[in-house]
Amino acid sequence: MIRRLCVIGVGLIGGSLARALRQAGYCRDIVGAGRDPQHLQQAVTLGVIDRYETDLARAVQDADMVVVSVPLGAMQAVFAAIRDHLAEDAVVTDAGSAKASVVADARAAFGKLPAGFVPGHPIAGTEQSGVAASFPDLYRDKRVILTPTDASAAEAVARVRAMWEATGAQVTEMSAEHHDEVLAATSHLPHLLAFALVESLARLQDQREMFEYAAGGFRDFTRIASSDPVMWRDICLANRTSLHVMIERFSADLQELDRAMCAGDGERLLQLFSDARRARDRYVGK
Amino acid sequence: MIRRLCVIGVGLIGGSLARALRQAGYCRDIVGAGRDPQHLQQAVTLGVIDRYETDLARAVQDADMVVVSVPLGAMQAVFAAIRDHLAEDAVVTDAGSAKASVVADARAAFGKLPAGFVPGHPIAGTEQSGVAASFPDLYRDKRVILTPTDASAAEAVARVRAMWEATGAQVTEMSAEHHDEVLAATSHLPHLLAFALVESLARLQDQREMFEYAAGGFRDFTRIASSDPVMWRDICLANRTSLHVMIERFSADLQELDRAMCAGDGERLLQLFSDARRARDRYVGK
C-alpha cells in the first residue's frame, strides 16, 4: 500500500500506472508532476491524479513512492532536481526502456546509488502517447523487469515489485546489462529495422508508387515506424552499446542470406527460412 | 467470359481465382491440374473446380484460359509440359511473385515468347496456403499487376485483364523489370528482414528468454516469417537481382542509423525517425 505516489511524467505509461493503482485501491494520494500545467490539469480532470506540481522539489514531498516516467534523455535532470527533497522512506523507480543508462544517470545525479533506488521497465505500450491514451489495464499480464543495483535495499525492491503486481503485471528481475541486451534484440532492433526500411523506400525514386504497392505484410512490419521519434532517439542513444552489437549480428545474418541467394543456394535458403519459421511459431505463436 | 478455365496449381491463389470467377458467373467450366490427386479431389469436393487432371497435356485441352499458379521453381517445367497441347485460342497467364524469371522460363520452354502469354501477379495472399484456405473475395480491391511482353497480343492482355477485373481486383500494367524492383522493395525485402531477425534471435544464447520478452511490435514485425519457406526460397532465387540491390540499399541505410547512433548524433537520429514516420503515415496510414 502506497501512502503518497508521485508520478513524474504523466503520459501513457505514468498515467496508466496511476489509473491501475487507483483502481486496485493501492494508494491513498497521487501527485502528478511535469513541465506542462495544461497537460497536468487534463490529468486531474480525467481523474488520473489528485493534484499536480510543476516544481519537482514540491512534487516529491512526503511521497513514499516516486515513479519517474519521462523520456530517457530527461532522467538525469529529474534525479538531480528531486535528490535533496525526497522523504526519509521514499523509494524511487523509473519506467525507462534502457536500464544501464538510467543507473549511470542516477549515479551522476545522486553522487552514489541510493538504497531506495530500484530501476524498472514495464514492457507495455501502444503507438499512442499522452495521458488521454492511458488506461488502467495497460499492464495486466504484461512483464515488468526490475534491475536492482548493488545498492538497492531488499525492502525497496519488494515495494516496487508489490506496486507493479498490484497492476496485474508479472515482475521479473535481472541485471541492467542483461535487460539492455534482451531489449536490444527483441524491441529496439525491430524498431530500428522498421525505421530503416521505411527510410529506404522513401528514398527510392518512385516513392509514391512503392508505398501504393506495399501489401499487408509491409503494413504490419512498419507499424512500429509510426512510434514517437523522440522516444526512439533517446532509446537508441541510451542503449547504443547493446543495440550496436545486435545491429552487427543482424547485418551478418542478412549478409548470409544475401550470399546464399546470390550464389543460388536454394538448399541453404530453405534451411534458414524453415529454421526461422519453426523458431517463431514455437515461441511467439501465430 | 471464359469457356474453359484451366488452373494449374489449385492452392490458395489458384483456388481463390476459380471461386471468384465461378461466383461472378465468368466461366462455364473449370479444370484443375496438379500432381496430387487427393488434393485435387478435395478441390472438387469443395466445389472449387469441376474436375481435375494430373496430366497437364490433357488438362489444358480446349481451355481458352490457362492460369499457372505453381511455385516459381516449377514454372518452366509446367510451360514445357503444356506447350504442344494448348488450344488455338488459349491465353496463358501466371500468378508468380517475380516476373522477369517467369518470362525467362517461358522463353526457354516455348522457344520464343507466345503472343498468347501474359505474365501476371495478384498482390494478395494470407499466411495460409492450400485450397482449403481459398475464398472468392481474396482479390476484391486488391492489385493485380500484368507485365505483358513485347510478344503479348493486345487481345490476350485484354482477356487476362477482364478475368482479374471480374474478381473485383484493380489491374495495372508495367514492365517485368519494374515489377520486380517494386516487389523487391515492398514485399520481398520485408520478408527477408523478418526471416533474418528471427534467425538472429534464434542464434542468441538465451533463445527462449529472448522470445519470451518479445513484445507486440515484434509479433507484428515477424508474422511474415511464418510464411511458406519453399515459396520464399523460390522468390529469393527468382528475384535475386532486384532483391540484392534492395538489400544493399537497406544495409546502407541501417549503417547510417548505426553510425549516427554510435556517434551520439541525436539530431540526425531524430530527423531520420521523423522522416520515416511521416512517410509511413502519409502513404500507409495507421
Binned average pLDDT, 10 residues per bin, chain B of 286 residues: 97 97 97 97 97 98 97 96 97 97 98 98 84 96 96 98 98 96 92 92 82 74 82 95 96 96 97 90 70
Does residue A286 carry a pLDDT above 60?
no
Q: Running DSSP on this structure, what letter comes out for residue A16? A: H
How many Å apart are CA B31 and CA B6, to the nearest integer?
5
Q: In terms of domains, do A28 and A165 share one?
A: yes
* CATH code for the domain in which residue B269 is found: 1.10.3660.10
- Nine-digit cell at A215? 501489401
Q: In terms of domains, do B133 and B243 share one?
A: no
pLDDT given for residue A214 in this prediction: 76
User: A63, A50, A122: which is closest to A91 by C-alpha?
Assistant: A63
Query: A100 to chain B, minimum CA–CA distance in Å?
Result: 16
Q: Among A174, A189, A210, which residue terminates a domain?
A: A174
Does residue A231 carry a pLDDT above 70?
yes
Residue A168 in contact with residue B195, Cβ under 8 Å?
Answer: no
Mean pLDDT of A67-87: 97
Query: B74 to chain A, minimum CA–CA distance in Å?
Result: 14
Number of domains in chain B: 2
CB contact under 8 A, B221 and A225: no
Query: A268 to chain B, minimum CA–CA distance in Å?
Result: 9
Query: A185 to chain B, minimum CA–CA distance in Å?
Result: 7
Q: In terms of domains, do B184 and B170 share one?
A: no
Does residue A256 carry a pLDDT above 80?
yes
Placement of cell 515459396 in the chain: B231
Q: Among B174, B200, B222, which residue terminates a domain?
A: B174
Q: In terms of domains, do B150 and B187 share one?
A: no
Query: How high is the mean pLDDT of chain A?
Result: 93
pLDDT given for residue A215 in this prediction: 64
How are strands ordered across the β-sheet holding A91-94?
Answer: A51-53, A27-33, A2-8, A65-68, A91-94, A117-118
Chains A–B, number of C-beta pairs less than 8 Å apart: 275
Does residue A218 carry a pLDDT above 80?
no
3-state secondary structure A39-101: HHHHHHHCCCCCEEECCHHHHCCCCCEEEECCCHHHHHHHHHHHHHHCCCCCEEEECCCCCHH
ipTM: 0.86
Q: In terms of domains, do B138 and B207 share one?
A: no
Q: In terms of domains, do A163 and A201 share one?
A: no
Q: In terms of domains, do A144 and A202 share one?
A: no
Q: In terms of domains, do B61 and B111 share one?
A: yes
Query: A41 to chain B, minimum CA–CA distance in Å?
Result: 29
How many other β-carbons are positioned within 10 Å of the β-carbon of residue A272? 25
The shortest CB-CB distance from A221 to any of B185, B221, B229 is to B221
CB contact under 8 A, A283 and B208: yes
Residue of chain A nearest B193, judged by CA positions: A254
pLDDT given for residue B285 in this prediction: 63
Chain A hits for B220, CB-CB cut-off 8 Å, are 220-221, 223-224
Q: How far is CA A242 from the centre of its chain?
A: 15
Does residue A207 carry a pLDDT above 80?
no
Q: In terms of domains, do B127 and B17 share one?
A: yes
Does residue A46 carry a pLDDT above 60?
yes
Q: In terms of domains, do A164 and A221 share one?
A: no
Mean pLDDT of A50-66: 98
CB contact under 8 A, A197 and B190: yes
Residue of chain B nearest A249, judged by CA positions: B200
CB contact under 8 A, A202 and B275: yes
Residue of chain B nearest A264, judged by CA positions: B237
pLDDT given for residue A90 in this prediction: 98
Residue B61 in contact with residue B88, Cβ under 8 Å?
Answer: no
CB contact under 8 A, A258 and B244: yes
Kindly give the interhelix angle for B189-202 and B229-238, rounded to the nearest 10 degrees: 120
- For residue A155, what pLDDT band results from cuts at 50, 70 and 90? very high
Mean pLDDT of A62-67: 98
Chain A hits for B124, CB-CB cut-off 8 Å, are 215
Q: In terms of domains, do A119 and A212 share one?
A: no
Chain A hits for B145, CB-CB cut-off 8 Å, are 213
CB contact under 8 A, B286 and A127: yes
pLDDT given for residue B124 in this prediction: 87
- For residue A285, what pLDDT band results from cuts at 50, 70 and 90? low
pLDDT given for residue B223 in this prediction: 78
The shortest CB-CB distance from A210 to any of B185, B230, B237 is to B185
Q: Among A123, A154, A174, which residue terminates a domain?
A: A174
Q: pTM value? A: 0.87
* CATH code for the domain in which residue B131 is found: 3.40.50.720
Range of the domain at A151: 2-174
How many other β-carbons are positioned within 10 Å of the β-carbon of residue B263? 11
Q: In terms of domains, do A83 and A186 share one?
A: no
The shortest CB-CB distance from B209 to any of A182, A233, A244 is to A182
CB contact under 8 A, B283 and A214: yes
DSSP string spanning A205-236? TTHHHHHHH--HHHHHHHGGGGS-HHHHHHHH
CB contact under 8 A, B226 and A270: no
